[in-house]
Homo-oligomer: A and B are copies of this chain.
Amino acid sequence: MLTIKRLDIQDARVLIAGAREKAEVIGVPMCIAITDEGGNLIAFERMDGGKVTSSIIAIDKSYTASGAKKATHEYGVASQPGSPAYGIGSAIGGRLMVVGGGLPVIVEGEVVGGIGVSSGTPDQDRAVAQAGIDAFLATL
């Protein structure tokens, strides 16, 4: 038997609040998704004005980051034409996201979940996701 640490719903709310605060600062209404370390959704919020398509994209970014234990922008680099992971972005029915904005949440070296953000540019999405993680880690 394995013993796993995993985000709870209170942690998920902290992550979303931290991300939302950053989204408000930069003035981009975002979709924000939190998954557990198995890639399953814990919490989600679409801020007023967030993109409809980004609901699914944010969830899939978070799924990818937690399930693959890797930031989605790293997959973006690794999957460029000519690179070894070229083509990975259409795996799992297209759920494997290679666009920035998905980050694993890591505590004491273990992935305990993920956060995925979508509606802005990939750089904006990534900055907002990071703000969520920063807010969460500050509570530990």
Taking Cβ atoms with an 8 Å cutoff, the residues of A that contact B are: 1-9, 11-12, 36-48, 51-57, 60, 63-64, 66-69, 75-76, 79-82, 84-94, 96-100, 107, 112, 121-123
Contacts of A51 in B (CB 8 A): 67-69
Query: Measured between alpha carbons, how far is A1 from B9 in the docked complex, in Å?
Result: 8
Is B91's CB under 8 angstroms from A80's CB? no
**Candidates B43, B63, B69, B112; contact of A46 at CB < 8 Å:** B43
Interface of A is mostly: mixed
Return 5 A-B CB contacts under 8 Å, by A number: A1-B112, A41-B44, A54-B68, A57-B92, A76-B86
B41/A46 in contact, CB under 8 A: yes
Known: A9-B46, A51-B67, A53-B68. 11 other contacts (CB 8 A): A3-B5, A8-B48, A37-B52, A41-B46, A42-B45, A52-B68, A75-B87, A84-B99, A87-B89, A91-B99, A94-B94
